[in-house]
A and B are shown apart, each in its own frame.
Chain A
Amino acid sequence: MPHDHHDHDHLSPSGHPYRQDNDGALTYWQTMEIAIRELMIEKGELSAAQIQAQIDAMDERSPANGAAVVARAWTDPDFRNRLLANGSDAAREMGFDIGPMHLVAVENTAHIHNLIVCTLCSCYPRNLLGLPPDWYKTREYRSRAVREPRAVLREFGVELPVTTTLRVHDSTADMRYIVLPARPAGTDGLSVDALAKLVTRDSMIGTGLAKAP
């Protein structure tokens, strides 16, 4: 049947199917990306290996990096103090490449909850969390996080007590926030590694809470 033939046509020279996102009709903007990349390589601006290395470095960044910082802050009061005093330096201390930006850690407590947004664009602590989720970049999140943050949090399944102070932090290209979530109850005996597993991406954006053990 035609569909089988269609699938067969989409095997790459290596015999594997192309990634689904590579086998749609070539778009204008994809064509531009290829052209820019090839021009920069031809002109000696960049090498293909450099571009791949940058992608690899990006792929290695994930919320696990931020979770390691959070778990250490939960277990090492001196580190927590350094993190809150200078997030960039504290993250560098753990070996993370923060680049030139200022990283500001904001701490959730029993009475304060923090939420981060970039109302102007998509600034995000990508060096610690990886690339931002799609919703972080949407008009809906950017507009409403500073207008009705409690309603936004409810859409993420977080219902804050009315007595909790909610602070919303608007990031810029040069200054990016990360939330230090509150340590869950019942985690006294857990190791740093076990604690890190409770730290979700959303808990470091403020649209979630750390998981219960």
Chain B
Amino acid sequence: MDDPTHRWHDMGGDAAGPVPLEGHDFAIWEKRVDALVILGQQRGHFTVDGLRRALEDMGEAAFESMTYYERWVAALNQNLVEAGVYSLEELGAKMEDVKARGDTYGAVQS
């Protein structure tokens, strides 16, 4: 950390350019990530602070290169693995299984 009193996510007061006002409708996969984050907390596997800890520890490079729900799904995964809901091996095997079904999000739903 360059400045231990001011981590990268603590952006208030930094200089920045014009606010980009264009938005997008949330894709179904993004809504599912949001739902899984809420439900994972309701199941008691992690707290909102656990989610934020994972997001903040990803660092600034992730903030710049990944979309919002890409960062959320990564943080969700980290928390669920830490909670022992599934192992990294199980996740890897499942992701290979999903990829083998097709090339688009719509095509690989089981």
Residues of A that sit less than 8 Å from B by CB: 10, 12, 18-19, 21-27, 29-40, 43, 45-46, 50-51, 54-55, 58-59, 117, 119-122, 131, 133-135, 137-147, 152, 155-156, 170, 173-174
Further contacts, 7 of them, CB under 8 A, given A31-B99, A36-B91, A139-B11: A32-B74, A35-B94, A55-B35, A58-B35, A144-B14, A144-B16, A155-B19
Using C-beta atoms within 8 Å of the partner chain, give the interface range for chain B: 35 or more
Which residues of the partner chain A approach B20 to less than 8 Å between Cβ atoms?
134-135, 138, 140
Number of CB contacts from chain A to chain B under 8 A: 182
Identify B52's interface contact among A27, A37, A156, A173, CB under 8 A: A173
CB distance from A36 to the nearest CB of B (A): 6
Q: List 26 A-B contacts (CB under 8 A).
A: A19-B106, A21-B105, A22-B104, A29-B74, A30-B29, A33-B32, A33-B33, A36-B36, A39-B85, A39-B90, A40-B40, A40-B80, A40-B85, A40-B86, A46-B36, A51-B32, A55-B28, A55-B32, A119-B10, A121-B55, A134-B20, A135-B23, A140-B19, A144-B19, A152-B19, A173-B48
Q: Which residue of A lies closest to B47 (CB)?
A: A173
Identify A140's interface contact among B18, B36, B73, CB under 8 A: B18
Residues of B that sit less than 8 Å from A by CB: 9-29, 31-36, 38-40, 43, 48-49, 52, 55, 63, 66-70, 73-74, 76-77, 80, 85-86, 90-91, 94-95, 97-99, 102-110
- Is A142 in contact with B12, judged by CB distance below 8 angstroms? yes
Which residues of the partner chain A approach B23 to less than 8 Å between Cβ atoms?
133-135
